[in-house]
Amino acid sequence: EVQLVESGGGLVKPGGSLRLSCAVSGFTFRNGWMSWVRQAPGKGLEWVGRIKSKTDGGTTDYAAPVKGRFTISRDDSKNTLYLQMNSLKTEDTAVYYCVTEGGNAYYMFFDYWGQGTLVTVSS
Amino acid sequence: DIQMTQSPSSLSASVGDRVTITCRASQSISSYLNWYQQKPGKPPKLLIYAASSLQSGVPSGFSGSGSGTDFTLTISSLQPEDFATYYCQQSYTTPWTFGQGTKVEIK
């Protein structure tokens, strides 16, 4: 059974930093492309960014609102995904989900989701 | 970025009703369209991928159709467990983008 468990959320002041972790099991993590998706309270889903597998280059892509402030990384030896968030703004307040990018060469979809971790940015 | 627009934003329906939700993309995305269901306090769940392929384990009462810019999610006979919020998502190109959601409520 695939399990994704996020941690590291909490309350942080505007301008502050936070690092989220996502521990993955039941899945060959090193081969997986991983994304972070967030959801502000009472709002819809917003893709934050993704990291490809090292086999596929290990490159990252980010949504415009977080580019330059957030960094996604991975430690395949620990089956763990990270999201480093710097220069946090109040509008970054959301539940952050760790998600696997499944599919094949033609179609991508988000197939496994963690339960999410809440990040609150407030003074 | 590709904008995804769902309609309606919410709807009220009864158990047994046929429900249709539409999703429109701001440009052609071929069949690169996924549908998710989200219940309160839970993460989303994949229902449909590639516009019309049913994810393993999803009841056959769910179906998807469309290509290009216009897509539809249909629930053939609404069940009590189907009351939730539904999102479309394009997988044509990054940044991956979602529709704003359609909340299906009990009439």
For the segment A2-42, what is each residue's pLDDT rounded down to a tens digit?
999 999 999 999 999 999 999 999 989 999 999 999 999 99
pLDDT for A105 beyond 90:
no
**Residue from A43, A108, A112, A115 whose CB has the most chain B CBs within 10 Å, to mutate:** A108
Residues of A within an 8 Å Cβ radius of B: 35, 44-47, 50, 61-64, 97, 103, 106-111, 113-116
CB contact under 8 Å between A45 and B34, yes or no, is no
- A6 C-beta neighbours (distance < 10 Å), count: 22
Separate counts of helices (H) and strands (E) for chain B: 0, 11
| Amino acid identity for residue A31 in this structure | N
Strand ranges in chain B using DSSP code E only, listed in sequence order = 4-7, 10-13, 19-25, 33-38, 45-49, 53-54, 62-67, 70-75, 85-90, 97-98, 102-106
Give me the residue from A97, A106, A108 closest to B43, CB to CB. Answer: A97
CA distance linking residue A97 with residue B20, whole number of Å: 28
Residues from chain B that touch A45, judged by Cβ atoms under 8 A, are 36, 38, 44, 87, 89, 98, 101
Least confident range from A32-46, A93-107, B59-73, B92-106: namely: A93-107
Asked if residue B88 lies in contact with residue B23, where contact means CB atoms within 8 angstroms, the answer is yes
CB contact under 8 Å between B95 and A35, yes or no, is no
pLDDT for A104: 80
pLDDT tier at A106 (50, 70, 90 boundaries)? confident
| Mean pLDDT along residues B68-81 | 97
* Nearest to A112, CA basis, from A43, A23, A42: A23
pLDDT tier at B71 (50, 70, 90 boundaries)? very high
- What is the sign, positive or negative, of the torsion defined by CA atoms of B81, A36, B102, B98? negative
Nearest CA in chain A to B56: A111
Q: Which two tokens stand for residue A107?
A: 């179609």
pLDDT for A98 beyond 80:
yes
Report percent pLDDT > 90 for chain B.
98
Q: Which two tokens stand for residue A8?
A: 């590291």
Residues from chain A that touch B44, judged by Cβ atoms under 8 A, are 45, 97, 110, 113
Asked if residue B77 lies in contact with residue B91, where contact means CB atoms within 8 angstroms, the answer is no
Give me the residue from B42, B53, B97 closest to A47, CB to CB. Answer: B97
pLDDT for A71 beyond 80:
yes
> DSSP states of A7-55 as a string?
E--EEE-TT--EEEEEEEESS-GGG-EEEEEEE-TTS-EEEEEEE--GG
| Mean pLDDT along residues A44-57 | 97
pLDDT for B106: 87
Span A72-88, pLDDT tens digits? 999 999 999 999 999 99
Helix (H) / strand (E) containing A117 = strand A117-121
pLDDT for B62: 98
CB contact under 8 Å between B87 and A111, yes or no, is no
Report percent pLDDT > 90 for chain A.
96
